[in-house]
Structure 1
């Protein structure tokens, strides 16, 4: 108990930073008019993507992949075998051969499209992973199907966020023109289902050691189920509301969290960092230096940053903090640190999950 309290005191920010935390981590509900304006702009942005020429849209995805550091090849339509873009990610640890299929849809993508892409991946001797990109959204059954498979589902809101993050603002110039929108200049564009843009929870630290990030989706202090522990062996909750993403920009680790899509009974999301003791039995949290959690809540909103205490050699996992749903529906973050000498296993047991030894 004393270790937990000591870590908590070390993590307490000064008055100005605490005030900034409370302001920035109140999640995405500034006021009704602001939210309505953001949603209307997102609809216009996705309408512009949906109205693009198919070849032009595939070219945009290829340019985005290049901006993310990949070597890219657009496939010939006569022999693409269901693959629109091929990419090679040169990262020596997270990289590989990626096949990408794009769906300019206005409605939810059917699970059959996800299963078809998995079939293509299995029969492609060169590919190691697949990405399905859409202008609309995916349903829970699609997210359940890709769990544990080397497939990433990228919905329209996430695509817009990535395009803006990598500098493709010109694509959405017309959507930003409020005067044109008020004049009805975009009225002729098709209607589209809009998915909520997930928040990106980034974890940064210094040093050479590798650490894993995990999330527990809870009611109070009890995890909802084994499937609601998101970590390296389970990359997503069944509904896709919390997903682990590898290779996101320069972050050491990244979680995508759609707070609005979390089950109604969920009121807490716990974030944990853990040493890779499975591959490195002697590893501890001692190399977890200068850690910071960064919440990118969405396009057009300022990122929130919380600096945390360094890890201790006596621990092999560390609770970094938690998001709590308030009665108003807002989510607020608390940097509540605690050390676990028994690693991620001990942390999981503390939140009501059973661990069966192999």
Structure 2
């Protein structure tokens, strides 16, 4: 499949990049001036979305979907069972008919709204997937409810990131101007501080060259032990119970994407392990040999430059490979280490190494 120019640059690093032993992905703490500035700007950005006319906001979501390659249809208001936008993703592998509801909320979206979308999806014969988009956030019970269901939840921070990623910067121009003018931006008398902000998730993007497909998994751990079976995120379990780590398909030109809300990870979690595995279930002869020129890219926020680390190529003797791990230090920051290890027994062996039990097929 074709890859972007960005991918080709990343997959052919110079010698100094390839021999880098450590890349730190450091997340700003809430008590830093820089992070307060980012949060102030995010409040302004969400306020601009909240101030939109409802129809204008739905049209913006429709334009975003078109920019992502979908064929889109805005539905007649109050005449289509609560569906605001319908889209057709023509991708032959991940495509389908998508129904979208949008919620311009200040506060956390209630689980009942998520259940209502699922009910609509079940009764819509044409739809294969539902998406709920909000300017606020979703609680843990909503993420638990959608686990294993063809429903995607997009919170306000993710929506802002998607809009910027697909070129809708003009939507937020006024927010940047306001924050530059008043400095703080979240202490004014216009009620902006009342908006409930969702933590902006980091995007972990994996790129590699060649035509081989690989599965990406993440284990949320305390030390070298996964917290539970539900804290293994992979193709059969796309999210942790609280939604802090999610596997996302079809994100830009990435081969794979994990959304990680580091601040929302369980308090007893101090490690996040990233693993790549060959699809031996469908291709018994598959190995990691085609995992060539791999690069891991951290997009920590829509307004921060991405950090890139180049990893070692896969080996023909292995069918899974630990790419590295994020560790939380005593101050609460997360550092990434490319801790490479090969597994001849595939994802099964990698999971067992972190204390999980797997039933044999």
**TM-score bin (small chain):** over 0.9
Deviation per residue, 1:142-166 (Å, 9 max, x gap): 0000000010000000000111111
1:99-248 alignment runs, 5 A limit: 99-177=99-177, 178-181=179-182, 187-188=189-190, 191-248=194-251
Confirm or deny: 8 A CA contact 2:232 2:240 kept in the other structure.
yes
Q: 1:281 to 1:184 in 2, by over 3 A?
A: closer
What TM-score do you get using the length of structure 1 for normalisation? 0.92
Whole-angstrom distance in 1 between the partners of 2:201 and 2:236: 21
* Other structure's SS at 2:23 match: helix
- 1:16 is displaced (CA, Å) by 9.8
- 1:14 is displaced (CA, Å) by 3.6
- 1:28 is displaced (CA, Å) by 3.2
Confirm or deny: 8 A CA contact 2:219 2:274 kept in the other structure.
yes
2:297 aligned with 1:306: no
What TM-score do you get using the length of structure 2 for normalisation? 0.92
Whole-angstrom distance in 2 between the partners of 1:303 and 1:344: 28
Residue in 2 that maps onto 1:83: 83
2:287 aligned with 1:319: no
Residue in 2 that maps onto 1:44: 44
Q: 1:298 to 1:353 in 2, by over 3 A?
A: same
For structure 2, the residue ranges without an aligned partner over 5 or more in a row are 1-12
Whole-angstrom distance in 1 between the partners of 2:143 and 2:314: 33
Q: 1:241 to 1:184 in 2, by over 3 A?
A: closer
Confirm or deny: 8 A CA contact 2:104 2:135 kept in the other structure.
yes
Whole-angstrom distance in 2 between the partners of 1:79 and 1:14: 59
Whole-angstrom distance in 1 between the partners of 2:30 and 2:318: 38
Confirm or deny: 8 A CA contact 2:17 2:310 kept in the other structure.
no
Deviation per residue, 1:16-50 (Å, 9 max, x gap): 9748823xx12234970001110111011111111
Whole-angstrom distance in 2 between the partners of 1:295 and 1:209: 22
Q: 1:75 to 1:319 in 2, by over 3 A?
A: same
* Other structure's SS at 1:79 match: coil
Deviation per residue, 1:187-219 (Å, 9 max, x gap): 436531001100000000011111010000000
- Which region of structure 1 is more displaced relative to structure 2, 342-351 or 307-316? 307-316
* Other structure's SS at 1:309 match: coil
Residue in 2 that maps onto 1:8: none
Whole-angstrom distance in 1 between the partners of 2:309 and 2:357: 31
Q: 1:19 to 1:28 in 2, by over 3 A?
A: farther
Confirm or deny: 8 A CA contact 1:102 1:132 kept in the other structure.
yes
Whole-angstrom distance in 1 between the partners of 2:312 and 2:17: 17
- 1:341 is displaced (CA, Å) by 0.3
Residue in 1 that maps onto 2:346: 343
Residue in 1 that maps onto 2:56: 56
